[in-house]
């Protein structure tokens, strides 16, 4: 835990933190009810790095701390091209599906609260999304992260296809 925080400090990056959900959960036992809290948190630097985490504890501050530590541990890179995502993608997790489409400048983030928080902290400014199936915040957050993991930068697509990045954007001219 301390080594992760130290690596982040050495990198000199400042991460913004956002709590998406705090849910009270109850476990019924023969001695009564045991209350605990589940927190869903997202951290990001608004410059292509984002992570989500879930924390559970008997008290809210402990659950928040655990969620933020988990989110920092699960950081991923997000390819952002001109303020949007490079291509259309569908993220899936259990019963949740999230469709994300690139959008023109000035569109903003068209998304529900969970997806909006993740994309904002990732540094995406313009994107269209549609949540299909389950809208449970934890599952939807994981589906969004799965979708982001399936995004490829223009440079990576060009390398896979052995063409230049300009040809990826404009199309390859065919001879004949």
What pLDDT digit, counting tens, does each position of 79-115 carry? 998 899 999 999 999 999 999 999 999 999 999 999 9
pLDDT band (50, 70, 90) for residue 174: confident
* Residue 150 sits in the same domain as residue 118: yes
Give the pLDDT of residue 8.
54
* Residue 123 sits in the same domain as residue 44: no
Give the pLDDT of residue 47.
92
Of 57-66, 90-99, 126-135, 154-163, the range with the lowest mean pLDDT is 154-163
* Bridge partners for 23 per DSSP: 38
Half-sphere exposure of 42 (CA within 13 A, CB side): 27
Burial tier of 99 (Cβ tally within 10 Å: 0-12, 13-18, 19+) = middle
Say what the pTM is.
0.86
What pLDDT digit, counting tens, does each position of 38-85 carry? 999 999 999 999 999 999 999 999 999 999 999 999 999 999 988 999
Helix H or strand E encompassing 52: strand 49-57
* Residue 85 sits in the same domain as residue 29: no
Choosing from 53, 76, 99, the residue where a domain stops is 76
pLDDT band (50, 70, 90) for residue 9: low
Could you tell me the CATH number of the domain that includes residue 55?
3.30.160.20
Q: Rounded to an integer, what distance in angstroms lies between the CA atom of residue 68 and that of residue 100? A: 25
Strand order in the sheet with 109-110: 89-93, 96-102, 127-133, 109-110
User: What token pair was written down for 171?
Assistant: 């199309």
Helix H or strand E encompassing 117: helix 113-122
Q: Does residue 36 contact residue 56 with C-beta atoms inside 8 Å?
A: yes
169/141: higher pLDDT: 141
Residue 175 lies in a domain: no
């Amino acid at each position: 835990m301390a080594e992760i925080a130290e690596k982040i400090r050495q990198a000199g990056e400042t991460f913004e933190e956002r709590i998406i959900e705090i849910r009270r959960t109850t476990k019924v036992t023969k001695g009564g009810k045991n209350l605990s809290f589940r927190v869903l948190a997202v951290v990001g630097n608004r410059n292509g790095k984002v992570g989500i985490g879930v924390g559970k504890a008997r008290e809210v501050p402990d659950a928040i701390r655990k969620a933020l530590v988990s989110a920092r541990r699960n950081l991923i890179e997000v390819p952002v091209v001109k303020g949007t995502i490079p291509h259309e993608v569908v993220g899936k997790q259990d019963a949740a599906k999230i469709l994300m489409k690139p959008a023109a400048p000035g569109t903003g983030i068209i998304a529900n609260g969970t997806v909006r928080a993740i994309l904002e902290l990732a540094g995406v400014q313009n994107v269209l999304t549609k949540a299909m199936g389950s809208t449970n915040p934890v599952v939807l957050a994981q589906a969004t992260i799965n979708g982001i993991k399936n995004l490829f930068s223009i440079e990576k697509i060009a390398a896979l296809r052995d063409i230049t990045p300009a040809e990826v954007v404009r199309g390859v001219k065919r001879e004949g």
